[in-house]
Structure 1
């Protein structure tokens, strides 16, 4: 971060930042913010404000439900790196391993078997890890 613009402090929504850290984990979020530069800084501000502060803080759904929906959307669009991150988040948000498998099975029908097959490969790796909630 060598240009004056890249050394500016990020303008992060405090509520969104708190939820983002709770859901994704402090180390992941802080590492993402530390890597922010003149190209990605505004994106970090946007997702913290709108996704995490605007959507994830709404009272209409609990975090478990939001995680299940997010997993399905990520499977549908084949975003496997984000799926890996959000599988860990789903565990933090209280989904059980069995419920995650059910979400992926449901996704197989509505998102397609090939997409779910790839998702199960990611889930197999993530669910073999120690439980992040313990």
Structure 2
């Protein structure tokens, strides 16, 4: 027989999020790197849009993706951006590809290097995935590198 159903967590049952545990070093390191890589405007928008439903996820992203992974000493940010772009192309995550193309530029990759990353993904992730990625990245690079009149 299947196990008996479990009651939903109190936070969902009541519609009120439980208080966050004390934010520690991973959160503080993560928010710093997240702001440096993605920019204050993006992080401010994400935090402003956060609510009882998404707040724990935003906290999770900041602590684990940014505070535990992006802060590790084994790879520099440029390399992490290359890996991230590749993973996003492979999975077809175009919204995140926009964000991380901007981040790659901020982390020191040139448009030519981003082009090489995307060409490389065509072999390992597929031409259709790379084709879509080129369209996304082209627009971001144009926005980020075209001087304002």
Counterpart of 2:141 in structure 1 is 127
Query: How high is the TM-score relative to the length of structure 1?
Result: 0.90
By how many angstroms is 1:62 displaced? Answer: 0.2
Distance 1:9 1:29 in 2: 19
Change (3 A) 1:11 1:101: farther
Counterpart of 1:29 in structure 2 is 43
Distance 2:93 2:77 in 1: 20
Query: How high is the TM-score relative to the length of structure 2?
Result: 0.81
Task: Answer with 1 or 2: which has the greater Rg.
Answer: 2
Q: Is the 8 A contact 2:86 2:117 kept in 1?
A: yes
Distance 1:130 1:95 in 2: 12
- RMSD of the alignment, in Å? 2.1
By how many angstroms is 1:11 displaced? Answer: 6.0
Distance 2:118 2:45 in 1: 28
Change (3 A) 1:15 1:124: same
Q: Which has the higher contact order (CA 8 A, sep 6+)?
A: 1
Distance 2:139 2:21 in 1: 33
Counterpart of 2:16 in structure 1 is 5
What do the CA deviations read for 1:9-45 (whole angstroms, capped 9, x no partner)?
A: 7965110000000000001001101110111000000
Runs of at least 5 residues in structure 1 that lack an aligned partner in the other structure: none
Counterpart of 1:54 in structure 2 is 68
By how many angstroms is 1:79 displaced? Answer: 0.0
Please list, as runs of the form range in 1=range in 2, the aligned pairs for 1:1-134 lying within 5 A after superposition. Answer: 5=16, 13-131=27-145
Count of equivalent residues: 130
